A and B are shown apart, each in its own frame.
Chain A
């Protein structure tokens, strides 16, 4: 039976795109420069804390903004996240986590306190998540099609259950590792792996016609 979906076959295998630039390199292997900066910040160096801030402010801000859907509130909670981090950096221990994951954990707690619910929701339009300009003569013809594809995938992500949604957003939008996602969500890495598998399976079902 032929697929009547207007986007049938739209989600053909994606072409590998260049790595996102300007993003915090949040990986399980903590770079030496980050370790040094954290050590200095723990010793009271505000300049080092400032450098860490430069590196992670986008990650923290976006994590919050994607959940609260308001720039004003995202600014307030981002400020509170970094102020709390500065107050408590003396207590920070690596324990296998990246500094960014620690910051996101603080942000997550603040968002939860604000809404009195740990339920994860993407609170902004899918079109706002990916920042791809779609006007101007220099834009390739397939850019609009790609934007539609991304929108469909993100809509399907938004329809996942809260845990699966948070897992996919942390892993694939914010680029966090399994271990970091596990720490932020308070689960074991194996549980995140299983959660991710179920989320991908649910997405595959939801996008069945588009993937035909």
Chain B
């Protein structure tokens, strides 16, 4: 028999001896009786107060941090979405949110006003896109969307409030934004913009 094996067997013998000795660290008789009486009485305290306390002490901190982090992330992404421009990855999300907001309008007048607000947003986007050669197609597309929103909004507003001053105000504001752009547009975009200006000038004209 090898030495290592003999040593292992001796260790096992000593462990077996430990097992045969009385262990220390017994509970106090008073504690033992107290707990027994509680268990036999069948009256149980509220569900595991220690575990609940533990949860209250540690988990809320983590969940609060997670909630704050989530809220911050949502705010950042909401702001990024709100500020996105045509061509940005979040831009489709912004347009989807705008469409939802328009569809949620309670009546034609409100829906028309919201569509005109969208037309103003498109105008600001075109102004931001100008100056970049790569953004040509986006400018054309955004001009087209601006006109579509304007026509749809005006149509609804005229139907709901035929002589609404909001139409004239919108036309004047929009002209101030779109008018200065024409110098920077290429031929096809210029044709789009001039057609649009003609349309809104008709709306702003004195009756």
Give A contacts to B, CB under 8 Å.
11-23, 46-47, 49-50, 53-54, 57-58, 61-62, 65-66, 71, 74-76, 78-80, 82-84, 86-87, 110, 113-114, 116, 124, 128-132, 149-150, 153-154, 168, 171-173, 175, 200-201, 203-205, 207-208, 211
Contact = CB atoms under 8 A, between A and B. Distances in A.
B205 interface: no
B13 interface: yes
Interface residues of B, number: 40
A113 B54 contact: yes
Interface of B: 4, 6-8, 10-28, 31-32, 35-36, 38-42, 44-45, 47-48, 50-51, 54, 58
Contacts of B21: 17, 20, 130-132, 150
B27 A58 contact: yes
B28 A84 contact: no
Q: Which of A47, A62, A76 has most chain B Cβ within 10 Å? A: A62
A18 B40 CA distance: 34
Contact of A130 (B10, B13, B23, B51): B23
Contacts of B14: 11, 14, 149-150, 153
A83 B13 CA distance: 38
A53 B48 contact: no
A165 B58 CA distance: 29
A207 B11 contact: yes
A208 B7 contact: yes
A53 B35 contact: yes
18 contacts: A14-B16, A16-B20, A21-B22, A58-B27, A65-B27, A71-B27, A75-B28, A78-B31, A82-B35, A83-B39, A113-B51, A114-B54, A116-B58, A131-B22, A131-B24, A172-B19, A200-B11, A205-B7
A129 B10 contact: no
Contacts of A131: 21-26
Contacts of B20: 16-20
B15 A168 contact: yes
A22 B26 CA distance: 11
A86 B51 CA distance: 16
